[in-house]
Structure 1
């Protein structure tokens, strides 16, 4: 094992190369610390799941950047409480929400550019600021700014062990260019994501069904550092079966399909399982608040598959997927193309259509109360008969974005062991998001957590390093 010196005896090592890691690295560098980022991915795939993001959920008192009107702390918290079923640390949640307002101008000052909100079903112009060029542009902007601040980055640098001695990290081992290196930084920030790309670990948590899950993001988030720290007694948070899982196009690749494989058509559809039976209220709420439940719903169905059925009048109401829908002149033909029992699909659609009532109040971007009557499960909004050919279908599979089992942190983003804090260890981003997200997900909130806690971790790590 080689003892590395310049360039790799920095004050601070940041493990990971996505949004949270870069926010920590830039903040620490601005505080005068020398920083090394260890990114497991090759340069072309740098940025973790942040590459696939589109927006940042942001509290604001009045118009701010691309955001219109206002979005209060209490409304934001209420939205979060609804999707998590109250399973959140309210103190940390309020910290993330309150700090998000100052993050937006900070992001702009560090190279991020925003665009007006996308039109369509997202209805996020008030709550979510969209990145011009998406997450890849944000990541590239942050790497440029980090370089200007003197942050050093090693790509294909996989951390294998973070050695804990009592209440502090003593050294880090990592591999790079076929060699193993050991470094002894003053401070360490872990921002290396969840464990979702390790499908064996997913299967241990979920059971064999997890082998059928698709991983929406980077194949490099395998939870190596997370497992290493938990094995050494670092305080953990979250449930290994909880994750941000959405229903995505079943034709998506196993890894890295990203945002374009998401399907936004569920509110305007019926969703059936392999037996052509409906299993949940497709019209429960507007999509940014409820899209994240569908991954879990589909995971509970036979073969972990669902099928969206819509007709011609709904085709233009949602953002299109990267793959075209399956198209057929009749429901029977559609069922055959999708591998569904034709009699069953015709019966299910017939029962649904018969339960639909007055549709004159239909409004695609807000809760419209256009609902079914006497149907189980009901469809409580946007319930219009599926009658206008051609008919269209998509197959849904569970797409995991990130897992919620992670490192427990306090309001200073600091990790702990036993009864007290680890003096020189902080965590940010998806690897500690379970501290706030007990279950469920709110669109754009992962970037909020990463930005807020990345900046806090960078500030605290630098303060410790500068004092030692």
Structure 2
């Protein structure tokens, strides 16, 4: 397509929602996806659920999940660092998104069980994010959306208050197009580890990148350099603690470990450093990447015993196992005496465990221990003992393009008349810090649809 009405940069959930919405409004749409076709979809192919407000049961979701409760959950994890207007827009609109998703090929399944506790709040995709991405591409194709893979956008030319051209390379050739409107949905900069290191310092070189290696922030940097309004802190990101044996890039959601609430977590000196039982895991898993990043050599270690092994989602790599804590310490490279002392102090601080409930806040807490463990605190006494190493796994960064409620970008106080952004590239407009399970898909779906609608209206009028 030599002159599309709309160029959409990126090929994940937000880009696809924008493309489908714009195509249904009659626009000719071209998606420029940096990845090869087998790896299309960005981080969306690693997702598995969508956090959704609803009044009463909706699709696979049970009970209800109100706007106010959803917002309270978001404010708790972000520490209030959010744009409440945009947050409420995302939350409120999510209810209508679920049936829209079903109408466009996405299928859902009952919630996963265990530590996730999400049957009321999060709708799980049948087949995971890869199936969602494939369904959307099939729908987009039927609507006439064109896709170019291995198309790396290098520059958007801004002339005053509009984008006049898009430059990209494909198979060694340089191409230029002049769309009427542009939607940027190309993610954060997390795969550029040099950029991460500039923000975080040398510690970032030890981080693992959970998602696609293609989100390097090229378009983001290009637009910020030209004065497009930015939002967010470059050190803030969706960072979780993942299995230390995960690959450098693209390990995906399977490398996440959900055992922390039932464990103690120590650093390389075998010392605990945070409350493992602070809240249910979907509201706390995303803080652990930063916690581990602050430890020596950016590594942590999970210690559990036999009675906790079946309480969480199975890990992709088997845990390290030993019949004694001393042997476990040796296998994990930890100081044995210090680990035994830490576990002993923890065990001594545990009290009545009769109220233990693995999927709810149970108040089974330690006494006189710093830091405390405020839920699920049971002594680690039953062999064999198990351990996992933890590393910081970055999913996406929050430095991004600032948008308004129409997903439009701006320079100063002036809107860029034909530029919109959706998904992780603008998520920092809502996520100042922290993360809420499934909320990235909410942002991408809501603002992808908004951006597609607005871009199509602009293109159709011009």
Number of equivalences: 462
Q: Which residue of 429, 432, 452 corresponds with 2:426? A: 432
Is 1:323 equivalent to 2:317 in the alignment?
A: yes
The aligned counterpart of 2:211 is 217
Is 1:380 equivalent to 2:364 in the alignment?
A: no
| RMSD over equivalenced CA pairs, Å | 0.3
Q: Which residue of 28, 34, 54 corresponds with 1:40? A: 34
CA distance in 2, matches of 1:184, 1:145: 25
- Residue correspondence of structure 1 range 24-103 to structure 2 within 5 A: 24-103=18-97
Q: Which residue of 145, 149, 153 corresponds with 1:155? A: 149
The aligned counterpart of 1:105 is 99
Give the secondary-structure state (helix, strand or coil) at the position aligned to 1:153. strand
The aligned counterpart of 2:337 is 343
Question: Do the aligned residues in 2 keep the contact of 1:8 with 1:36 (CA within 8 Å)?
Answer: no
Q: Which residue of 156, 163, 167 corresponds with 2:161? A: 167
| CA deviation profile, 1:361-398 (whole Å, cap 9, x unmatched) | 00000000000000000000000000000000000000
Give the secondary-structure state (helix, strand or coil) at the position aligned to 2:199. helix
CA distance in 1, matches of 2:317, 2:157: 46
Q: Which residue of 346, 353, 357 corresponds with 1:352? A: 346
The aligned counterpart of 1:3 is none
CA distance in 1, matches of 2:131, 2:239: 24
The aligned counterpart of 1:14 is 8
Give the secondary-structure state (helix, strand or coil) at the position aligned to 1:321. coil
Is 1:244 equivalent to 2:238 in the alignment?
A: yes
Shift of 1:418: 1.9
Shift of 1:220: 0.1
Is 1:461 equivalent to 2:455 in the alignment?
A: yes
| CA deviation profile, 1:23-47 (whole Å, cap 9, x unmatched) | 0000000000000000000000000
The aligned counterpart of 2:384 is 390
Q: Which residue of 289, 296, 316 corresponds with 1:295? A: 289
Shift of 1:321: 1.0
CA distance in 2, matches of 1:386, 1:291: 21
Question: Do the aligned residues in 2 keep the contact of 1:112 with 1:138 (CA within 8 Å)?
Answer: yes
The aligned counterpart of 2:413 is 419
Give the secondary-structure state (helix, strand or coil) at the position aligned to 2:284. helix
Shift of 1:121: 1.1
Shift of 1:177: 1.6
The list of structure 1 runs, each at least 4 consecutive aligned residues, that deviate by more than 2 angstroms after superposition, is none
CA distance in 2, matches of 1:263, 1:320: 8
Shift of 1:128: 0.1
The aligned counterpart of 2:255 is 261
CA distance in 1, matches of 2:218, 2:104: 30
The aligned counterpart of 2:226 is 232
Shift of 1:197: 0.1
Shift of 1:8: 2.5
Where do 5+ consecutive residues of structure 1 fail to align? 1-6
Question: Do the aligned residues in 2 keep the contact of 1:249 with 1:395 (CA within 8 Å)?
Answer: yes
Normalised by the size of structure 2, how large is the TM-score? 1.00
Give the secondary-structure state (helix, strand or coil) at the position aligned to 1:459. helix
Shift of 1:119: 1.3
Is 1:124 equivalent to 2:118 in the alignment?
A: yes
Normalised by the size of structure 1, how large is the TM-score? 0.99
